[in-house]
Amino acid sequence: MNVLYFDELDSTNSYLKREYAHLPHETVVLAGRQVSGKGRMGRTWQAPDGNLSFSVLFRDQTGELALFPLFCALAGAEVLEERFGASIGIKWPNDLILQNQKLCGILCEGVSVGGQMQVICGIGVNITWTREDFDRAGLPHGTSLLLALGQTPDPTPLGEAMAARLIDLVRLWRAEGFLPLKARYEQRLLNAGREVQVLYDGHTVRAFAKGIDEHGHLVCENDTGIFTVQSGEASVRGLYGYL
């Protein structure tokens, strides 16, 4: 694991997208401050001092690349549980949930070069954000380790541990397939057993979430039968709030 540290970056994902050609496989980039971070659906996300922002580069990847957001969520959940003794759930595909609020943001991006995909996994954990910070950012469902647990750990060793776990999970997937990781992920999947709304372009489908399949897609069922939802093609919301 090759680790690079920066006091400030626009975005750890953006740095790897610019510099990946000169960096080895499994490079980890940690930033003390991230000023132009990105989230899903084109949202912006900033990480001031004391919060955690890091990205991991996986070079020359093939196969089920849509699984990487799930690997990130599982790595984050396991490390946070081990370090803080808290119960961390996953809202499909990759939101980490602590006390019914979102603790962590994840964005995986790809750069295609010569038929191979360079996968960049970015993870941000809210450590020091206050309720006022979330209100100003328009994030009513957000929480931090400070708010939920009263703890403000050093972000650098936490990021190193989460990056190392993510790398281990990807290596395990390459060696043994997704099945062992699927079981670990589903143990924390909060959507399973709940009614959800699947938001496609211009319409909403109401269904019952059952779990995930071997591709990491969310398996749902309603009156029309069983169907799957792919990460990125739709958003999934609970019927009664964020979950």
Alpha helices in 5-130 (DSSP H): 12-19, 68-84
Name the pTM for this structure: 0.92
Same domain, yes or no, for 14 and 69? yes
Residue 23 contacts by C-beta under 8 Å, 6 or more apart in sequence? 2, 16, 57
Number of domains in the chain: 2
- E strand or H helix at 207, and its extent? strand 203-212
Same domain, yes or no, for 20 and 92? yes
Domain with residue 130: its CATH number is: 3.30.930.10
Alpha helices in the chain (DSSP H): 12-19, 68-84, 131-136, 145-149, 155-176, 179-186
Domain with residue 212: its CATH number is: 2.30.30.100
Structural domain of 178: 2-186
Q: Can you give the pLDDT of all 243 residues of the chain as single tens digits?
A: 899 999 999 999 999 999 999 999 999 999 998 886 555 444 555 556 789 999 999 999 988 889 999 999 999 999 999 999 999 999 999 999 999 999 999 999 999 887 789 999 999 999 999 999 999 988 899 999 999 999 999 999 999 999 999 999 999 999 999 999 999 999 999 999 999 988 877 789 999 999 999 999 999 999 999 999 988 777 787 756 666
Using an 8 Å Cβ cutoff, are 73 and 182 in contact?
Answer: no
Residue 243 lies in a domain: no
